[in-house]
Amino acid sequence: MTLEVSVRGLDVPEDVRSRLTADDVAARLARKDATLWGPDAESEAAIRLGWLDLPSSSRSLVEQLAELRDELRSEGLDRVVLCGMGGSSLAPEVICRTAGVPLVVLDTTDPGQVAAAVTELERTVVVVSSKSGGTVETDSHRRIFESAFAAVGLDASQVGARFVVVTDPGSPLADTAAAMGARAVFLADPTVGGRYSALSAFGLVPSALAGADVGPMLDEAEELAEHLAQAGNPAFELGVVLGAAAVQGRDKLALADAEPGTGTGTAIEGFGDWAEQLVAESTGKEGRGILPVVLESATAAGSTGPDTLLAVAGTDTPAASPSLAVRGPLGAQFLGWEYATAVAGRVLGINPFDQPNVTESKENTRAILDSGLPDEQPAATIGAVEVRGSSGVLDGVDLSALDGVSLALDALLSAVPEQGYLAVMAYLDRFADARAADLRSALAARTDRAVTFGWGPRFLHSTGQYHKGGPQTGAFLQITGAVADDLSIPDRPYTFGGLQAAQAGGDRKALADRKRPLLHLHLTDRTAGIGQLLAALA
Ligand SMILES: O=P(O)(O)OC[C@H]1O[C@](O)(CO)[C@@H](O)[C@@H]1O
């Protein structure tokens, strides 16, 4: 079998496993029984279990993609840019990092980061991936690349030949692809939801075009698939442990990559970001859920705690306790974690296939784009940090003090409820402003509560569902930054900077409507501001 799960220091209550076994959950899931999550989830589940077939049904893509990659390379098109959010880009990012092949992933509205991707056009092919075909970020990326190609003198048919599209049949993007004469259109299986689509065209097309060998990944998944009907298979065990730990109060799942060079097999890079979306969007609803906490390493701050279970996917066994080692190659990991999340969903009593609260922030964003951001004056400006809106966090805090930023962060940390978490949400450039990610460990070192970090708007398609739909125990640090050079979006009345600000504002409103503690810091100079925040936590 290609997946091995071992648990250290955690008693898994026998009743959870025996109930699932008595209900024949392993076999019923393997044969796509849509009744497993209760009557309310049944109609959705009936059209969302196609991922179980992907190890075999995706086979035909392998050769087709190898031919397309050769064709593109023969024309000098060897730089692949993937435009896609959440489930439409997270798997290719892990696949390509693990395979060591370059793929430019565009999953942001940050003007600087977008502008940096629109380069080297003479050798660029753009994969536009969106299941719904209506995601605003992805649509904006397609527009800017179309106009950039035209601006360097390509005619309409040459522009079309630079695009490869992955979408569901009948989506608006399928129509756009036909109208623009895209070089290739891959219509994906509509019975596979975004976060379960790693082994579908969404995972395979960009990865194979970038140079990853995707065939072996399907072999690895298929080997596991053959065992999924058996009770006690490793993916079932993983689901039992995740679900049982959560109902026992260990509902923070710390995720870390295996240390390079440890254990046997191939190390997987960046798996946590993919698993984060799968677990957070699938389980974070109805006031319940498992909160993934992506760590810098298996020993980073936050790897242990009274409500935490550490999981390491890849090759080694973590030293921390309690912990979970999930050993195996990437193809088996994808399928195994999807299956396990569906099992954990049954234990938690939720529908693992919908994302009911993601639309709230999207609707707020739309309203802001239509009528503008509410006028918010900073409560204080400390160096390059403007302390903007905060709900209830800063009462009594002296922002005029020399260490005002530090005091504001301390006040936010003390607003995190017991068994709660602090989510850092940075609407910045994840490459140029990469140091902002160090805020996670710096904050985690000052609290025994879980601290997560997400780049906006990418996290809105991942932990964003949990923030709004999961237990209302979060406190939130939103960071926005000055935009030096804004970028217009062709044929749209707003810019990337405007969209990014509206997304941040829309999510602030969704969290404020839930009366969650939130501190909004705006960096008037990004580099200086990030430095100031890190210094305040040192
Ligand atoms: O593939 P699409 O339809 O563009 O959606 C991207 C992401 O947005 C969500 O639909 C909602 O956040 C995710 O579930 C999905 O992976």
pLDDT of residue 376: 82
CA distance linking residue 356 with residue 153, whole number of Å: 44
The residue nearest atom 9 of ligand 1, judged by CA position, is 461
> What six digits make up the tokens of 130?
């969106």
- pLDDT score of 374: 83
Q: What's 53-220's CATH class? A: alpha beta
The CA distance from 214 to 161, in Å, is 23
Domain ranges of the chain: 4-31+229-348, 53-220, 358-537
How far apart are alpha carbons 439 and 60 in whole angstroms? 44
Fold of 4-31+229-348: Rossmann fold (3.40.50)
User: Does the pLDDT of residue 319 top 70, yes or no?
Assistant: yes
Which of 44, 51, 83, 88 best tests ligand 1's pocket when mutated (most atoms within 8 Å of CB)? 88
Nearest CA to ligand 1 atom 11: 461
Amino acid letter for position 445:
A
Residue 216: the pLDDT is 97
- In a 13 Å sphere around the CA of 71, the CA atoms on its Cβ side amount to 12
Ligand 1 mutation target, pool 44, 138, 351, 358, most atoms within 8 A of CB: 358
- Asked if 4-31+229-348 and 53-220 have one fold, the answer is yes
Look up the ipTM and state it: 0.98
Site to probe by mutation for ligand 1, drawn from 44, 93, 129, 132 as the one with most ligand atoms within 8 Å of Cβ, is: 132
**Residue of the CA atom closest to atom 14 of ligand 1:** 194
Q: How far apart are CA 507 and CA 515, in angstroms?
A: 13
pTM of the model: 0.97
- 531: buried, middle or exposed (CB in 10 Å: 19+, 13-18, 0-12)? middle
Return the number of other C-beta atoms located less than 10 Å from residue 151's C-beta.
10
Is 77 within 8 Å of 124 (Cβ atoms)?
yes
9, 152 contact by CB (below 8 A): no
Q: What is the pLDDT of residues 201-251, one digit of tens each?
A: 999 999 999 999 999 999 999 999 999 999 899 999 999 999 999 999 999
C-alpha distance from residue 120 to each of 80, 123, 152, 205, 348 (Å): 11, 6, 11, 21, 48
Tell whether the model's pLDDT for residue 24 goes beyond 90: yes
Lining ligand 1 with CB less than 6 A are 85-88, 130-132, 135, 138, 194-195, 281, 355, 358, 461
**pLDDT on residue 373:** 87
Q: What is the mean pLDDT of the chain?
A: 95
- Omega of the bond leading into 292 within 30 degrees of 0 (cis): no
Q: Which CATH superfamily is domain 358-537 in?
A: Glucose-6-phosphate isomerase like protein; domain 1 (3.40.50.10490)
pLDDT for the residue 1: 60
Q: How many residues are listed for the chain in this entry?
A: 538
Residue 391 confidence (pLDDT): 77
Ligand 1: residue whose CA is nearest its atom 7: 86
Does the pLDDT value for residue 360 go beyond 90?
no
Ligand 1 center–CA 19 separation, angstroms: 33
In the chain, pLDDT over 90 holds for what percent of residues?
90
